[in-house]
Every structure is written in structure tokens, then in C-alpha cells.
């Protein structure tokens, strides 16, 4: 399933959702799709999108918890208020996901990059992301189909941020591995 963090909303990035209330004092447990909330100390507000309405809340306190975090938001004084936001989308500033020189890149920085294979030429552009548990996958789309390629050093030769291009050397058949060939016999 494709990661939903590719969406943008007024300079913000969709990174997770409110899973549930935590305790009786209005705390919320937020699941972060990537499982990594290392940006938590860098923000003072959260934007929650619930029932097609965006609301920004000041964070009183927050701590990493499981695959996300627990937060106390101003105005959330009891469990009922927290439960009312169960399922709300969690949005944070997109600039938190721009890597600095020497840092690992964020997959979201690769959205819409053109994929150019050493042998096949241009095969499409990055539409979204996924994971098979062992590695990150780039979901590539072209005019004919959508397919996944592993984002691993063995396949990726170069990431050119200036020209928004990823150069690859993919194993023969990887792009076509899920194509249906012929029709199954009825016998």
C-alpha cells in the first residue's frame, strides 16, 4: 500500500493520523506512517484535518510512543475532546522533510523525479512510495502502467536533485515483472 505522506496541504505534509485518546486528560496518540517522529521537538503546533476541516493546535507537551507519539494539545482537556478527533489526519510543516547536505534524504523529496535507467532510458516518474518491509519502494508511473522499484544502492546510480532525475541500473525484467503475458488456459 502506498504511503500517504506524499500529500501536501498549504505547505504541510500528511505524516500520520490520530489513533485514539490516551488516558483521561485529553492526550492523543498519533501514529506516524514512517514510524519515525524525530521532528517532534522541532514543532510547536500540529494541524489536524478532521471532517474536511483543518485546525491548528498548540502542543503543550509531547513524547515519542510506539510508532508515533502522545501529545497534549491546548484545548484538549478531557478524553471526550480527544476521542472526537480519532481518525483525524496529522499534518506538519513540509520544510521539516528537506534534507541538509550530508543527511539521508527523505523519500518525499523524490516525488515527481524522472527515473532514467541506464539501459531502458526514461521509464517514468516517482508517483508515491511504499515498502515491502525490507526496503523502501518507489512507485513509478508512466503513460502505460504503474510499477514499483526498490530504492536501494544496488539499483540507484545517482540522485540528481538539480534536474530532478534518478539514474538507475535495474535488473532485466524488473519493470515488466508483474505484466500479464497471454491468457491462462481453460484446461
For residue 130, the model assigns a pLDDT of 84
**Do 122 and 111 contact (CB within 8 A), yes or no?**
no
Looking at residue 119, what is its pLDDT?
94
Domain that holds residue 92: 4-97
Predicted pLDDT of residue 99: 76
22 shares its domain with 65: yes
Q: What percent of the residues of the chain are helix, what percent strand, and what percent coil, each to the nearest 5?
A: 10, 45, 45
- Give the ranges where the chain is alpha helix by DSSP (H): 79-83
Domain boundary among 66, 97, 128: 97
Q: What is the pLDDT of residue 1?
A: 37
List per-residue pLDDT tens for the chain, 187 residues long. 344 444 567 788 888 999 999 999 999 999 998 888 889 999 999 999 999 999 999 999 999 999 999 999 999 999 999 999 999 999 999 888 877 777 778 788 898 999 999 999 999 999 988 888 788 899 999 999 999 999 999 999 999 989 999 999 999 999 988 776 655 554 4
Determine, yes or no, domain membership for 181.
no
Q: Which of 61, 68, 56, 85 is nearest to 30 (CA)?
A: 68
Q: Same structural domain for residues 67 and 111?
A: no
* Chain centroid to CA 50: 19
For the chain, the maximum distance between any two Cα atoms, rounded to a whole number of angstroms, is 67
> 19 is written with which cell numbers?
489513533
- SS3 of 61, please? strand
pTM given for the model: 0.62
Amino acid at each position: 500500500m502506498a504511503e500517504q505522506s506524499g500529500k501536501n496541504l498549504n505547505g504541510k505534509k500528511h505524516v500520520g493520523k490520530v489513533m485514539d485518546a490516551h488516558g483521561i486528560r485529553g492526550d492523543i496518540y498519533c501514529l506516524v506512517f514512517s514510524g519515525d517522529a524525530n521532528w517532534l521537538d522541532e514543532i510547536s503546533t500540529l494541524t489536524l484535518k478532521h471532517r474536511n476541516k483543518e485546525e491548528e493546535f498548540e502542543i503543550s507537551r509531547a513524547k515519542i510512543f510506539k510508532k508515533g507519539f502522545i501529545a497534549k494539545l491546548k484545548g484538549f482537556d478531557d478524553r471526550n475532546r480527544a476521542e472526537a478527533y480519532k481518525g483525524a489526519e496529522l499534518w506538519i510543516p513540509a520544510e521539516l522533510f528537506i534534507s541538509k547536505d550530508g543527511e539521508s534524504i527523505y523519500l518525499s523529496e523524490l516525488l515527481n523525479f524522472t527515473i532514467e535507467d541506464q539501459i531502458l532510458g526514461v521509464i517514468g516518474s516517482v508517483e508515491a512510495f511504499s515498502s515491502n518491509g525490507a526496503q523502501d519502494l518507489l512507485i513509478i508511473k508512466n503513460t502505460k502502467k504503474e510499477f514499483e522499484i526498490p530504492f536501494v544502492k544496488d539499483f540507484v546510480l545517482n540522485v540528481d536533485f538539480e534536474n530532478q532525475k534518478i539514474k538507475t541500473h535495474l535488473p532485466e525484467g524488473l519493470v515488466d515483472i508483474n505484466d500479464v503475458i497471454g491468457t491462462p488456459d481453460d484446461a
